Amino acid sequence: MTRHRIVFSLLAVFYSMWSWAQQEMLVKGTVSDKQGAFSGVSVNVAGTVTSTVTDAQGAYTIRISSSNAELIFSAVGYVTQQVVVGTSKTIDVTLEEEMSSLDEVVVVGYGEVRKKDLTGAVSSVKGSDLAERKTTTLSASLQGAVPGLMVRRDNNAPGASAGSMHIRGVTTIGDSAPLVIIDGVPGSIDHVNPNDVESISVLKDAASASIYGSRAAAGVILVTTKRGNRSSLNLTYTGELGADIPTIQPKMVGVTRYLEMANELRYNDNPVGGFYQDYSADQVKNWISNHDADPNNYPLTDWRNLILDDYSLRQTHTIGVSGGNDKVRSKASLAYDDVDGLYGIRNFKRIMLRVNNDFTISDIIGASLDMNVRNARNQTPYYSPFSLLRQMPAIYAATWDDGRIAEGKSGGNPYGLLQMGGDRDARSTQIGGRGVLDIKPFSGFKVSAIVSPYMNFSKSKAFRKKAFYTLATDPNAFGGWLEDNANPYSTTRLAEERNDDYNITSQLIANYIKSFGKHHVTAMIGYENYYQKWENLGASRDQYILDQYPYLNVGPEDYRDNSGDAQAYTYNSYFGRIIYSYADKYLVQINTRRDGSSRFHRDNRWGTFPSFSAGWVISEEQFVKNANLKELSFLKIRASWGKLGNERIGSYYPYMSLMTFGNALFYRNGELISDNTAAQRTLAVEDISWEKTESTDIGLDAAFFDNRLTITTDYYWKKTAGMLLSINIPGSVGQGISEMNAGEMSTKGFDLEIGWKDRKGDWSYGVNANLSDFLSKLDDMKDTRVISGNKLKESGVYFNEWYGYKNEGLFLTEEDVANSPKLNNQIRVGDIKYMDISGPDGVPDGIISAEYDRVPLGNSLPRFQYGGRVHAGYKNINLSMTFQGIGKQNVRLERQMVEPLRANFGNIPAIIDGHYWSPFNTNEENAAALYPRLTRSNIEANMAMSDYWMFNGRYFRLKNVTLGYTVPQRYTEKVKIHNLHVYASATDLFTVNKYPSGWDPEMGVSAYPITTTLVFGLSVNF
């Protein structure tokens, strides 16, 4: 009986296999392109993991299970083709190259347009190109990616955003940050995960940006996130592990040289005191050898290695789901970032969720429903160590020999403050949504109703703990309080903030597209309302006894404080656009927007911002075609003009007489009491209004060699009128400085972008490079003059131009000192010699003075910014490199880079050793000295702002290198994986520059270091 069952089972198995074999079939064929046989093409059976790759002759063979199967042919840079097998056993396919970059659709304000139809200055970058840079924030990834977009930073702390972004220079002495629009509504660029970005468009001229009216004077950045498409459901996971390594740090002299140079400095300032005024000859000679026997009195503290780790770890995990059909298309992503800092408890964590859904309800009605959530936490020690870390000499102890916290320098101990000084904890949550209802009542016409709410909740705790040191000789004896810049940590104090804001954007937009003959018209009209309200609450308590409980109710009520305020703001807007094209040769675009803002008085509340642009596609003209210029693929010239506005001009109610509330002490009946106060401190100006910017642009777009070479260039000039200035008013008025629309400034510049891409057999490669430059000049500041941070703002100078003395080298002889104008009576041989420019009568007066002898020293902003990307692929291997830099910038050597004994005790930068004027040098050595003598008595004169300390701060930085490999599907399909990509990436690899050794061109003198980031990752598609 058992034998019969076995035979029956075997027969059943053979029958099943025979039946399956009858259904299965082999399909073969060849794949080619216009150059011939095409190897390396992926051939997949739709809906399965079955796949193969064409061989060197372009041939393939693949097994399918049904004649209804569909084959998908795909290759990088080519249009994917899908073919239903049917009864064919041989299927040959010819792949066509993807459309040129000129045919790509570019996102513009409230719509899209083909790149070749643009008449304004718009630059776009793909989200995938930004994501490969592996930055935590989106703003940082834009550095060097877009011509005309200046992105600057001064640190690379966990979770840090770019320090500033400017489009085509500076448009006002106030806020010149661009407007950021995310999927059609205002937002924060760093609240978007770089991996969720489909594309970014930068609107640079008035023709493209005026559709955003009063908020667009500084340009607009449009972020478009990825959406679902019609495809089978797929799941992706991306995981990354990496490390951040400090690029470079400034070097200081060794202990022995520090002692010698400190003594030399005292000798220079007081020769009669002899050479060993601070440190004895024995200390100088034997400090290092004495350390082993007596480390408390002869410390050798390596502050940098004690405080900073060699590296910090980071990790990122992202899960995505996408897919859809004719009715529903969805894409969802969930990302988690965890980035450690280089010291203490510093850490940044972030969770981001984004869900985009599109619905086709009928032929007439469609809808979209999007949601995004971001939650971030930033933990840091209460104390930031970098300023004192780079200042502390090794001769001060961080810890005593038994490990207890030591005195440092009179309580200044950055290591001790990190260990004992408390912490900061900042958390925030953003929730946003977007709902769209589209109605298409007839062909070419669509009406969209959009509502987008956004909520932001943030809270922070700053828990500063009292920190002290004990005596080296007695662990139980109180030595003193640790301090930061003379501020002792003598009490435990908690300060908390709770901030929340809410805004909602409502839009109603109608679009109409119509073609008749050679005429093509696109018209758009819309309405937008924006409302925002936010409230801030702060509270604190001091003199805590229990320092383990950071809660307000634990602190004593006698030392409590609180604060709070609220503001609201709204605007209404009407806008429209007409785009006309004739025969794809003659292009015209007209935009206008009318804005009304609650910032201004009702009589000045509304402003109109029009623009006009036109383009001529010369390559479509018959005379060009008749010339048979085979190398020329496309040529277009364009021009634009328009007006833009800036409403971000200080307070939200500049035209109103606002009361300022506070507290003051009064005597009442002989008793001192505290009571509330209220006063109008600033004179209100009712007719204050928009700053208005007129912008003109002339551009050219060209393509050659079958669109493989593309060139885009623009020259522009823009002028801002009605710029807000602080105007002095008579003191008799009894109120403070007021602001009025009185100033003017202008900017001129150019943008250039060049790209090349090609494919040869299994190889594909491309190069993109951009260059831009601008000069922003203050044309009219009335009688206002602002000097801040050694930079000047006044009529006729560049924006934030350096301001100081002009130098004539160093004083080299006593005779020169005696016969030359001097800044003060402390000037000696070896100090900096300044030029006598003028005096009270307009001519040199023999005295160096700040009032008459300081002059503009040159533009402080970067010149000739450039960036680019190089990429190559061979079969399953891909490599990309990005770079960025500045061609010229007048930069000052900051005091922290070159000043000896800063604060009268600080370390001495190694770069000056052997290169400064010294009484122990020969005359020839002093004549070639790069730095003045060591001094404290005359340090302010030598460190005063002058062109002596200026140099060209140009630099080149290799921003990113990424190498990736896609595992062949013949291996991954065995474990049900559709695609497996592994990669390694390095960011901020190296820099070529003229900065002093140890200083990164982008690192602030007291900021977190710039770091090299190494990342290893994999991406899996199921």
708-752 per-position pLDDT tens digit:
999 999 999 999 998 888 776 666 666 666 678 889 999 999 999
**Where are the domain boundaries for CATH 2.60.40.1120 in the chain?**
22-94
Q: What residues contact 289, with CB distance under 8 A and at least 6 apart? A: none
Report the C-alpha gap between 942 and 933 in whole angstroms: 9
Joined together, the tokens standing for residue 93 give: 């396919």
Confidence at residue 20, expressed as pLDDT on a 0 to 100 scale:
36
- In order of 1, 415, 479, 547, the CA distances from 404 in angstroms are 87, 11, 12, 19
Q: Is the four-CA dihedral 831, 833, 839, 844 of positive or negative sign?
A: positive
| Cα end-to-end distance, the chain, whole Å | 46
Instruction: Determine the residue type at 434.
Output: R
Q: Which residue has the higher pLDDT, 53 or 434?
A: 434
Least confident of 16-25, 222-231, 637-646, 694-703: 16-25
Is the pLDDT at 41 greater than 90? The verdict is no
* Interval 449-460 mean pLDDT: 96
Give the residue, 63 or 936, on which the prediction is more confident: 936
Tens digits of per-residue pLDDT, 355-394? 999 999 999 999 999 999 999 999 999 999 998 999 999 9
- The pTM (predicted TM-score) of the whole model is 0.87
Q: Which residues pair with 275 in a beta bridge?
A: none
Stated as kind and residue range, the H or E segment containing 503 is strand 493-516
Report the alpha-carbon distance of residue 65 to residue 49 in Å, rounded: 12
Could you tell me which of 187, 194, 182, 219 has the C-alpha nearest to residue 141? 194
Mean pLDDT over 929-933 rounds to: 97
d(CA 395, CA 404) in angstroms, rounded, equals: 17
Give the rounded distance of the alpha carbon of 634 from its chain centre: 34
pLDDT tens figures, 248-276: 889 999 999 999 999 999 999 999 999 99
Burial grade of 147 (CB within 10 A; 0-12, 13-18, 19 or more): buried
For residues 526 and 643, give the distance between their C-alpha atoms in angstroms, rounded to a whole number. 19
- Going along 903-954, which residue ranges are E strands? 950-952
DSSP 687: T
Q: How far apart are CA 707 and CA 124, in angstroms?
A: 17
Average pLDDT of span 800-827: 95
pLDDT attached to residue 983: 95
Whether the predicted pLDDT of 4 surpasses 80: no
pLDDT at 103: 61
Of 12-21, 112-121, 946-955, minimum mean pLDDT range? 12-21
- Which residue, chain included where needed, has tokens 């939650």? 375
CA dist 908 and 591 (Å) reads 59
Which CATH number applies to 22-94? 2.60.40.1120
Q: Which of 234-238, 488-492, 600-604, 729-733 has the lowest mean pLDDT?
A: 729-733
Closest CA to 966 of 75, 256, 321: 75
Q: What is the pLDDT of residues 541-551, one digit of tens each?
A: 999 999 999 99
CA 593 – CA 609 distance, rounded (Å): 5
Q: What is the distance, to the nearest Å, from the Cα of residue 42 to the centroid of all Cα atoms in its chain?
A: 38
Residue with tokens 């002692």: 259
Place of tokens 């052997």: 914
Per-residue pLDDT tens digits for 522-539: 999 999 999 999 999 999
Query: To the nearest whole number, what is the mean pLDDT of the chain?
Result: 90
- Give the CB-side neighbour count of residue 15, counting CA atoms within 13 A: 6
Interatomic CA distance for residues 209 and 206, integer angstroms: 5
Q: Does residue 350 contact residue 334 with C-beta atoms inside 8 Å?
A: no
CATH code of the region 105-234: 2.170.130.10
d(CA 699, CA 715): 6
pLDDT digits (tens, 9 = 90+) for 305-325: 999 999 999 999 999 999 888
Confidence of residue 14 (pLDDT cuts 50, 70, 90): very low
Q: What is the structure's pLDDT at 737?
A: 64
Q: Give me the helix-helix angle, 255-269 and 281-291, nearest 10°.
A: 160
* Confidence (pLDDT) at 99: 53
Rounded to the nearest 5°, which phi and psi values hold at 116? -75, -15
Q: How far is CA 430 from CA 186, 459, 659, 956, in A?
A: 14, 12, 32, 37
Cα–Cα distance between 442 and 499 in angstroms, integer? Answer: 47
Helix (H) or strand (E) holding 924: helix 923-927
**Span of 490-494, 740-744, 797-801 with lowest mean pLDDT:** 740-744
Q: Is the pLDDT of residue 287 over 80?
A: yes
Place of tokens 């634009």: 640
Residue ranges, CATH 2.170.130.10, the chain? 105-234
628 burial type by CB count under 10 A (0-12 exposed, 13-18 middle, 19+ buried)? exposed
Q: Can you read off the two tokens belonging to residue 420?
A: 């004992």
pLDDT score of 901 more than 70: yes
Q: What pLDDT does 684 receive?
A: 75
Structure tokens belonging to residue 66: 């049904």
Give the pLDDT confidence score for residue 101 in this predicted structure.
55
Q: Report the 10 Å Cβ neighbour count for 565.
A: 10
Would you state the pLDDT for residue 47? 64
470: β partners: 478
User: In 10 A of CB 592, how many CB atoms?
Assistant: 20
Contact 624, 650 (CB under 8 A): no
Q: How confident is the model at residue 77 (pLDDT cuts 50, 70, 90)?
A: low
**Are the beta carbons of 611 and 210 closer than 8 angstroms?**
yes
> What share of the chain in percent tops pLDDT 90?
68
